[in-house]
């Protein structure tokens, strides 16, 4: 993805030169992305003062006067927000990414994501998932990886997709790859273990296997206790935190994301719904049910369009009931 300098609105050819000079600088998506990256990178290292921030020549956040042309974002009691005039694409990018990593310094933040069909499946019955989601969602996944310290997937995802879990479609560092393979059933030939593109940690259950068998060696293997075959996810998150991994992206599959949701370990849950019908397939979320709809969770959400897909970005920390009264919403609104 090109990281270009901010664009300037030069106006139509016949406008007076003074008008052109007075036209506001419109800052673009590439610059917005650089700020989101800088913020995620620096969040775990420093506490920010309220005020304006720009970027230094190394792409790190530096203080700037609020309202000055060097100030790109501001931080106050509402959190982080953009300063100055930004393109619509840049504004949407800030909406989606700017505050996601702005939680308290000492707290782990975890976001889960699933790309699913309209009938709730993330792959066909034999595990084919390429590609459920739109290309724009793939870029979103790579951006989330770049913003996070670690990307987490379950053993069945590695077995089915042999993913690389890198950030090759965007600028930004690769995250540490964390593979949950309680019984160490995966072959060492999978790319996450053999390509050397980014560090890989393996999570195993010492009650089920000998950690010495791990394809990444004993040092890079986390032993996490379990009960009834389920790993203690808070204990896993604490071990990741001890290694400096505080922003976590749980990328799948359905079983892994579901267990994080059930354990109350996710701050946000992102579900990208594609206009696709899979029929009998691998389920996305699988959670215990309720007798009554009124007992079911309706977490607050934000909606983004990613190509033909719709991304539901749920806030799982804001309580289970959606505060907005549905009856107050307008009638049909055409989205596409």
Which residues are near ligand NAP by CB under 6 A?
A: 114-115, 122-123, 127, 129, 132, 153-157, 160-161, 180, 182-183, 185, 230-231, 233, 251-256, 259, 282
Q: How far is CA 76 from CA 38, 50, 182, in A?
A: 17, 5, 43
Report the residue closest to ligand NAP, judged by CB. 253
Residues 6+ apart with CB under 8 A from 119: 277, 278, 279, 281
Question: Of 37 and 158, which CB lies nearer to ligand NAP in the complex structure?
Answer: 158
Q: How far is CA 286 from CA 70, 133, 153, in A?
A: 47, 19, 16
Q: Rounded to the nearest whole angstrom, what is the least distance from the CB of residue 192 to ligand NAP in the complex?
A: 12
Question: Of 9 and 230, which CB lies nearer to ligand NAP in the complex structure?
Answer: 230
Q: Rounded to the nearest whole angstrom, what is the least distance from the CB of residue 273 to ligand NAP in the complex?
A: 11
Q: Rounded to the nearest whole angstrom, what is the least distance from the CB of residue 84 to ligand NAP in the complex?
A: 35
Q: Rounded to the nearest whole angstrom, what is the least distance from the CB of residue 158 to ligand NAP in the complex?
A: 7
Question: 86, 91, 101, 53: which is closest to 247 by C-alpha?
Answer: 101
Residues 6+ apart with CB under 8 A from 22: none
Question: Of 61 and 265, which CB lies nearer to ligand NAP in the complex structure?
Answer: 265
Question: Of 61 and 151, which CB lies nearer to ligand NAP in the complex structure?
Answer: 151
Strand partners, 75: 51, 80
Question: Of 172 and 252, which CB lies nearer to ligand NAP in the complex structure?
Answer: 252
Q: Rounded to the nearest whole angstrom, what is the least distance from the CB of residue 119 to ligand NAP in the complex?
A: 13
């Amino acid at each position: 993805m090109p990281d270009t300098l901010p664009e300037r609105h030069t106006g139509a050819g016949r406008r007076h030169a003074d008008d052109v000079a007075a036209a506001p600088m419109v800052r673009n998506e590439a610059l917005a992305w650089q700020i989101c990256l800088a913020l995620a990178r620096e969040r775990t290292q420093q506490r920010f003062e309220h005020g304006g921030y720009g970027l230094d020549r190394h792409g790190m956040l530096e203080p700037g006067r609020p309202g000055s042309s060097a100030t790109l974002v501001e931080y106050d009691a509402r959190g982080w927000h953009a300063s100055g005039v930004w393109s619509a694409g840049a504004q949407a990018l800030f909406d989606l990414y700017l505050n996601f990593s702005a939680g308290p310094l000492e707290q782990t933040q975890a976001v889960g994501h699933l790309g699913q069909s309209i009938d709730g499946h993330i792959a066909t019955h034999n595990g084919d998932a390429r590609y459920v989601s739109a290309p724009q969602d793939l870029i979103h996944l790579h951006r989330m990886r770049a913003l996070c310290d670690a990307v987490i997937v379950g053993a069945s995802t590695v077995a089915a997709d042999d993913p690389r879990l890198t950030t090759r479609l965007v600028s930004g560092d690769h995250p540490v790859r964390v593979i949950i393979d309680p019984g160490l059933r995966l072959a060492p030939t999978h790319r996450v273990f053999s390509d050397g593109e980014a560090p890989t940690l393996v999570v195993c259950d010492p009650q089920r296997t000998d950690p010495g068998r791990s394809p990444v060696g004993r040092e890079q293997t986390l032993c996490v206790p379990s009960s009834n075959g389920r790993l203690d996810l808070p204990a896993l998150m604490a071990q990741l935190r001890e290694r400096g991994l505080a922003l976590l992206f749980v990328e799948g599959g359905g079983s892994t994301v579901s267990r994080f949701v059930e354990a109350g370990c996710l701050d946000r849950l992102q579900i990208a719904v594609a206009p696709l019908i899979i029929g009998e397939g691998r389920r996305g979320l699988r959670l215990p049910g309720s007798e009554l709809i009124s007992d079911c969770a309706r977490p607050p959400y934000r909606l983004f369009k990613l190509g033909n897909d719709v991304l539901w970005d749920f806030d799982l920390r804001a309580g289970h009931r959606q505060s907005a009264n549905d009856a107050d919403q307008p009638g049909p609104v055409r989205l596409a």
